[in-house]
């Protein structure tokens, strides 16, 4: 076989490399959430079903995030480049996925999910508004009223 030929596949067909690095890098690393998924996320955060890195006190984040989200300590982002990391808005997971242990009062997760910074920006504003809305009993009562005929 000459140097310009690729080794044959087990079926004897020449192997074509269809995905080059440049092609792969054009794909967004973080998939964006549609409006319905983002609304679900907001409601589940407000309902206490989701834990994000923003639940960790700001002065503890640098040291605690890898201990709360264990995949980070184990190298989950080791293949990411600066431009990819800049797209991260938040790291989160469902509280139902927490492990049996906690650290300094925080749950520990052996899995994580990553949200794009633009999605997190929208979600953070919506979470603040929803939590404020829930503080006012009259808003809840207004939501329960039947629409006028």
Q: Where are the domains of the chain?
A: 31-135
Q: Which has the minimum average pLDDT: 18-22, 25-29, 35-39, 47-51?
A: 18-22
For residue 16, give both structure tokens: 């074509």
- Closest CA relative to residue 36, chosen from 134, 148, 146, 126: 126
For residue 108, give both structure tokens: 């520990």
| CA dist., res. 60 & res. 70, Å (int) | 15
Which pLDDT score, from 0 to 100, does residue 63 have?
95
Whether residue 97 has pLDDT greater than 70: yes
Which pLDDT score, from 0 to 100, does residue 140 have?
66
């Amino acid at each position: 076989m000459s140097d310009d030929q690729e080794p044959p596949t087990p079926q004897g067909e020449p192997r074509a490399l269809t995905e080059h690095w440049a092609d792969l890098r054009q794909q967004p690393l973080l998939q964006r959430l549609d409006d319905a998924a983002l609304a679900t996320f907001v409601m589940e955060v407000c309902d206490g079903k989701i834990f994000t890195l923003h639940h960790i006190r700001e002065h503890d984040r640098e040291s605690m995030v890898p201990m709360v989200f264990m995949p980070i300590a184990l190298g989950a982002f080791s293949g990411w480049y600066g431009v990819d990391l800049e797209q991260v808005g938040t790291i989160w997971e469902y509280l139902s996925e927490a492990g049996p242990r906690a650290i300094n009062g925080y749950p520990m997760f052996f899995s994580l999910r990553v949200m794009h910074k633009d999605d997190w920006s929208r979600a953070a504003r919506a979470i603040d508004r929803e939590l404020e809305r829930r503080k006012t009993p009259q808003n809840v009562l207004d939501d329960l009223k039947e629409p006028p005929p």
